[in-house]
Amino acid sequence: MPSATSTELDLSPLVPAYDSILELAPYQTGKPVEELTREYGVSDVVMLASNENPLGCSPKVTLAITEQLGQLSRYPDGNGYYLKQALADFNNVNVDQITLGNGSNDLLDILARSFASTDDAIVYSQYGFIIYPMLAKMQGAMGIEVPANRFGHDLKAMSQAVQDNSDAKIVFIANPNNPTGTQLEQEELREFVASIPSSVLVVLDEAYIEYSPESNNRALLDEFDNVVIIRTFSKAYGLAGLRIGYALSSVAVADLLNRIRQPFNVSRVALAAAAAALADQDFIEQVKLTNQGQKRWLEKQFDALGLGFVKSHANFMMVEIEVEMEDVTAASIYQALLEQGVIVRPLDNYGLPNWLRITVGVAEENTRLIDTLRSILTDD
Ligand SMILES: Cc1ncc(COP(=O)(O)O)c(C=O)c1O
């Protein structure tokens, strides 16, 4: 049965909390491997659509998970005592500055629910992570999109947008940003935060920080009570399937977030796995180095294929499809890659119809991507 679009949806006599909910389109995920196999009968699929870790996770995580399997009838520790202790040590913060989430997305949602409602505005950048405008719509808040500067955040313009809108309550910044891979200079970011009134929350989403340690802005927490830093175990730690992330903030903000979050929002398996993953920093170093090497290799290949890209500080690259061939578009290349078992991400929903976002895989996956791309572009 075809699913109804928002305009066709007839809820009457039910009315959603905010009209803007009807403008929302569900978050577009990367095409699942199982779906591709079902639709095209391709079995050997290369998944480069969701910025997951192609190396998996630390082997130490497996043991930690196994130890939990006999206890699944028991609720998790709702306060995540052991994981919070480990995160407090790791990040040099107090335990009461931490909020745990069912993935970092859960925390972004909790933040929006805690601080923004119909009379408020949420500020974010053009080409910023797409969840931010969605959160504004979910809360019935006004979304203020600030034009990007060469695909990255224009912090001066964002600061101006906050000064110009007394309703602004939250500014979301992804650093490095998804899908552009751009990164902000620490000093520039510090100046930006200093320019923002203390009544406006500045959320620094550091989902990809392990790939670019220079994007770690933990120090801002000590200086500014309105800064919140969001991290995840879904990317470099390789635990996307488990759903766990965390927020670092002032004690007062953490206290509020912990009131809003659901009582057991993180499973006992995720708590144990995250603690084991955090303890294995050698694995993270290996992940970072592999990503750097493979990204450099991909840059050379895209150059050789005549495809433009934005310099990325994360584990994915945004590649421009502007080839001088009839009927070749990013959409047609996305489709041709799919049919040959390579899943990447189209970016139409970001207003970037000529671009594809491609996760950096391991050597074998990247070679397959490039070989397939070359054969599509040269028609051989
Ligand atoms: C910038 C950014 N923030 C947050 C998330 C959410 O990740 P998760 O909920 O898996 O932690 C993502 C996922 O792609 C992301 O790219």
Q: Are residues 265 and 287 in the same domain?
A: no
Q: Where are the beta strands (DSSP E) in the chain?
A: 46-47, 98-101, 121-125, 142-146, 168-174, 201-205, 227-232, 245-248, 308-310, 316-320, 342-343, 345-346, 355-359
> 138 with 244, same domain?
yes
Q: How confident is the model at residue 3 (pLDDT cuts 50, 70, 90)?
A: very low
Does the C-beta of 182 come closer than 6 Å to ligand 1? no
In whole angstroms, how far apart are CA 187 and each of 143, 192, 199? 27, 9, 22
pLDDT value at residue 209 = 97
Rounded to whole angstroms, the Cα distance separating 361 from 364 reads 8
76 and 95 in a single domain? The answer is yes
Instruction: Give the residue carrying structure tokens 């061939």.
Output: 325
| Domain-embedded: residue 11 | no
Q: What is the CATH number of the domain that holds 286?
A: 3.90.1150.10
Residues 138 and 114 grouped into a single domain: yes
Q: How confident is the model at residue 8 (pLDDT cuts 50, 70, 90)?
A: low
Q: What is the pLDDT of residue 25?
A: 85
Indicate if ligand 1 lies below 6 Å from the C-beta of 114. Answer: no
Is residue 52 a contact partner of residue 235, using CB atoms and an 8 Å limit? Answer: yes
Whether 124 shows a pLDDT value over 90: the answer reads: yes
* Mutation pick for ligand 1 pocket among 53, 57, 235, 350 (CB with most ligand atoms within 8 Å): 235
**305 Cα to the center of ligand 1, angstroms:** 30
Atom of ligand 1 nearest to the CA of 50: 14
How buried is residue 262: exposed, middle or buried, by Cβ count under 10 Å (0-12/13-18/19+)? exposed
At residue 77, does pLDDT exceed 70?
A: yes
Residue 7 lies in a domain: no
pLDDT band at 208 (very low <50, low <70, confident <90, very high): very high
SS3 158: helix
SS3 call for 295:
helix
CATH of the domain at 112: 3.40.640.10
| Ligand 1 binding pocket includes 144 (Cβ within 6 Å) | no
Are 257 and 111 contacting, i.e. CB atoms less than 8 angstroms apart? Answer: yes
Whole-number Å distance, alpha carbon 207 to ligand 1 midpoint, is: 6
Residue 380 predicted with pLDDT over 70: no
User: Are 65 and 182 in the same domain?
Assistant: yes
97 phi and psi angles, rounded to 5 deg: -100, 5
Domain C-terminal end among 249, 280, 311: 280
pLDDT at 18 exceeding the cut of 90 = no
Mean pLDDT confidence for 351-358: 96
CA of 104 to the centre of ligand 1 (A): 6
Domain enclosing residue 348, as ranges: 19-55+282-378
Measured over the CA atoms of residue 135, residue 136, residue 137 and residue 139, the dihedral's sign is positive
pLDDT above 80 for 369 = yes
> How far is the centre of ligand 1, averaged over its atoms, from the C-alpha of 327 (Å)?
33
- H or E stretch at 110: helix 104-115
Query: Which of 29-38, 78-87, 88-97, 311-320 is predicted least confidently?
Result: 29-38
Domain boundary among 245, 280, 315: 280
Residues 231 and 313 both lie in one domain = no
- The pTM of this model reads 0.94
Q: Is the CB of 359 under 6 A from ligand 1?
A: no
Contacts 24+ apart (CB under 8 A), 22-27: 23/137, 24/134, 24/137, 24/138, 25/349, 27/130, 27/131, 27/134
Q: Is residue 8 part of a domain?
A: no
Instruction: Indicate if 294 and 205 belong to the same structural domain.
Output: no
Distance 298 CA to ligand 1 centre (A): 23
Q: List, for residues 224-281, the tens digit of each pLDDT value.
A: 999 999 999 999 999 999 999 999 999 999 999 999 999 999 999 999 999 999 999 9
Spatial neighbors of 135 by CB under 8 A, at least 6 apart, are 108, 109, 112, 116, 122, 141, 172
What's the structural domain count of the chain? Answer: 2
pLDDT for res 2: 45
